[in-house]
Structure 1
Amino acid sequence: MAAPAEQTDLADRDPGRVHDGEHAHRDGREPRELPRHAGPVRGRRGAPAPRRLAPRRVAPRPAPLVSPPARLDTSGIEVLSFDCYGTIIDWDGGIAAAFAAVPAFRDQDLPALVAEREEIEKHFLAEPYRPYRDILRASLQETAARHGLSLSRDDLDAFAASMPTWPPFPDSTSALLQLQRHGSLAILSNVEREVLDASLAPLERAGVRFSAKITADRVHSYKPARAHFDAALAELELSASSILHVAGSRYHDIDPAAQLGWRAVFVDRRGDGGGAGTPTVRSLAELARSLGS
Structure 2
Amino acid sequence: MDTLVVTKKGGRWRKFKKSIPFYLMGLPAMIYIIINNYMPLYGLQIAFKDYRVIDGITGSTWCGLKNFEFLFASDAWRITRNTVGYQFTWLILNTIISVFLAIFLNEVIGRRAKKFFQSLIMLPYLISFVILAYVVFVFLSDTGILNTFLGLFGIDKISWYTEPKYWPIILTIVNSWKSVGFNTIIYLSTLVGFGKEYYEAAELDGAGKWKQVTKITIPMLKPTIIMMVTLGMGMIFRSDYSLFYQVTRNSGMLYEVTDTIDTYVFRALTSGTNMGMSSAAAFYQSIVCFVMVMIFNAIVRKISREDAIF
Does TM, scored on the shorter chain, surpass 0.5?
A: no
- TM-score, normalised by the number of residues in structure 1: 0.30
- TM-score, normalised by the number of residues in structure 2: 0.29
Q: Quick check: which one's helix share is greater?
A: 2
Higher RCO, Cα 8 Å, sep 6+: 2
Q: Which has the larger radius of gyration?
A: 1
